[in-house]
Amino acid sequence: QLHLQESGPGLVKPSETLSLICTVSGGSVRTTAYAWGWVRQPPGKGLEWIGSMYYTGHTYYNPSLESRVTMSVDTSKNQFSLQLSSVAAADTAVYYCALPERGVWGQGALVTVSS
């Protein structure tokens, strides 16, 4: 059974880059069966898809975030990662790594953008 776990700093300064890692267990990130994704949820608000990627390197980003998002995969560590540049207070959210329609979600990582 697939299990996802987010990790990374909980506090990021404005204008800096947010970086999160998702560790995959119970399966291999080296599959083309699905694309590994990130979803975020600002406090008290709804869910927003950030992007998804296949381990082959093909990436697909939400157009509203595309200019600031980079996703990558590390097959040696069975992990995939998210970078969001030039963050502002509006990027404060719980960030989930997920295979949404398969019902596989990490527990979420709260990232606060503040000086």
Q: With CB under 8 A as the rule, give the number of residues binding other proteins.
A: 20
User: Which residue, 84 or 98, is less far from other proteins as judged by CB?
Assistant: 98
User: Which residue, 16 or 70, is less far from other proteins as judged by CB?
Assistant: 70
**DSSP label of 10:** S
**Contact window for other proteins (CB under 8 A) among 25-33, 57-65, 66-74, 82-90:** 57-65
Residue 17 sits in the site that holds other proteins (CB under 8 A): no
User: Which residue, 73 or 98, is less far from other proteins as judged by CB?
Assistant: 98
Sign of CA dihedral 7, 12, 62, 70: negative
Residue 39 sits in the site that holds other proteins (CB under 8 A): yes
Residue 107 sits in the site that holds other proteins (CB under 8 A): yes
3 vs 107: CA distance, rounded Å: 10
Residue 76 sits in the site that holds other proteins (CB under 8 A): no
Q: What is the number of helices (H) and of strands (E) in the chain?
A: 0, 11
What is the identity of the amino acid at 64? S
Q: Least distance from C-beta 76 to other proteins, angstroms?
A: 27
**DSSP label of 13:** -
- CB distance 17 to 111 below 8 Å: no
